[in-house]
Structure 1
């Protein structure tokens, strides 16, 4: 019964969210105004088959991470989010775990920055959501799973990414990443995901272990980064990291100097989107 109620709630809320509200192109004939299953799967970072099985009540006991991702993709209110966790037989994450809930005010901010690459991370630098311009700039994150979605892991262990690792870029950046992760681990000592992430990083990166053991300190500053894009070439962009007080979210925003060649290339990326750039 619980699995059926969970699936019914997901389907009902999916049908309530329009593609426009979720920042997706409408495209083609649609039988219903809400999100398609494949669109919800893309937004939540899970497979279409799993969404189908959840909605049909054929999959039970979704993890807290899946429920949180669905609540975020469905733009649920705090009360609706709590109800979805209850239907899954889970307690909503408490104050001792890293917050992953994107508040309505932050969501409205993202909705207004449709032409600007923006991504939202949690306190441990795990990617929660990225808008289409960010995906076009940095690569589509919809297929990333587990540690692949964590910025600290990607810098020290995972994929190289598109940011050119100049001496100026690395100066202070690595220390700031490690310091941020240490602060998150201190603030949320009961968060098992953070503890596993730190252990994995120490096991796979000598550089991370060195900085962690040395008690590296630092903080993120507004910086200028070079993004080597495979289709439009290098872009020199300003990167600002905004922290949302009370929810510990990090909003990363990339902008170009108005009237510059970089601004033209960034505008081209926004128009072409991820489909044309990943083919």
Structure 2
């Protein structure tokens, strides 16, 4: 029997290990040699042949149907982001074309960034490289050595654990964003380079990366501690940029009107701290 490592197989094994029998209403008898569900149990829950599911994990089968991936997604209790990631790994959704040339943020988009005077706004690509930022976003992230890649900043910059007051949640979400990117474009050289560097210098990233958690960036709340502005509670929104390659998004951080965080952002913007 030949076993070949595949992104699909790695993902299935990692997520299977995170689901306990009691999570899905299955009895657990005797000593279990593996964490989480057995392959046979996943197959039963997904409604597929156990040998076929085993071949998927071992890389001997790589292209399950949409119906099979949906069944496996339910069996492994995957959320929407993780199910979409599974479908991409299985090839049941259209691939994303790779950019043929370096992309420059157009002047109109830079003007839009600068128009957000009371909000910190910046543009990232799928690998979390920061492509452009307005002055307030730069001021907000001034504790870092440089504002170049959000993942590098979270895992490798010493300022991160103080700046992100909920660092553990931020770190898990950041690794999840990159895992989603791997499903969208598994052959991306920039992503491979970044993941290799992070794994080589951060055991925390390596652990989270191997958990295969998938997270999309849409909206939420962030908590920061800026050395000059103090504690900040900001909401963020992520907007997909149409016609731009590499899954680019406009990220906007803003504070509730008349809140202490809004006052702190205003002082950051004017340099009055």
Q: TM-score, normalised by structure 1?
A: 0.54
User: Which residue is 2:266 aligned to?
Assistant: 267
Distance 2:248 2:266 in 1: 26
Query: Number of paired residues?
Result: 174
Distance 1:214 1:201 in 2: 15
Report deviation, 1:152.
1.0
User: Which residue is 1:131 aligned to?
Assistant: 134
Q: How does 1:91-102 map to 2 (within 5 A)?
A: 95-96=98-99, 100-102=103-105
Deviates more, 1:232-241 or 1:156-165: 156-165
Conserved in 1, the CA contact under 8 Å of 2:123 and 2:132? yes
Deviates more, 1:194-203 or 1:237-246: 237-246
Report deviation, 1:259.
1.5
User: Which residue is 2:232 aligned to?
Assistant: 235
Conserved in 1, the CA contact under 8 Å of 2:234 and 2:256? yes
Distance 1:97 1:192 in 2: 13
Distance 1:96 1:129 in 2: 18
Distance 1:243 1:170, change over 3 A: farther
Report deviation, 1:190.
4.6
User: Which residue is 1:257 aligned to?
Assistant: 256
Deviations 1:118-169 (A, max 9, x none): 111111001112211112222187x73xxx6211122122233363332xx6
Distance 1:228 1:183 in 2: 28
Deviates more, 1:255-264 or 1:216-225: 216-225
User: Which residue is 1:71 aligned to?
Assistant: none
User: Which residue is 1:106 aligned to?
Assistant: 109
Q: Does 1:163 align with 2:163?
A: yes
Q: How does 1:97-246 map to 2 (within 5 A)?
A: 100-139=103-142, 144=146, 149-161=148-160, 163-166=163-166, 170-171=168-169, 173-246=170-243
Deviates more, 1:132-141 or 1:184-193: 184-193
* Structure 2 unpaired stretches of 5+: 1-96
Task: Find the residue that maps to 1:101 and give its secondary structure.
Answer: coil
Task: Find the residue that maps to 1:180 and give its secondary structure.
Answer: helix
Conserved in 2, the CA contact under 8 Å of 1:116 and 1:133? yes
Deviates more, 1:210-219 or 1:124-133: 210-219
Distance 2:253 2:99 in 1: 31
Task: Find the residue that maps to 1:225 and give its secondary structure.
Answer: strand
Distance 2:101 2:259 in 1: 39
Conserved in 1, the CA contact under 8 Å of 2:143 and 2:227? no
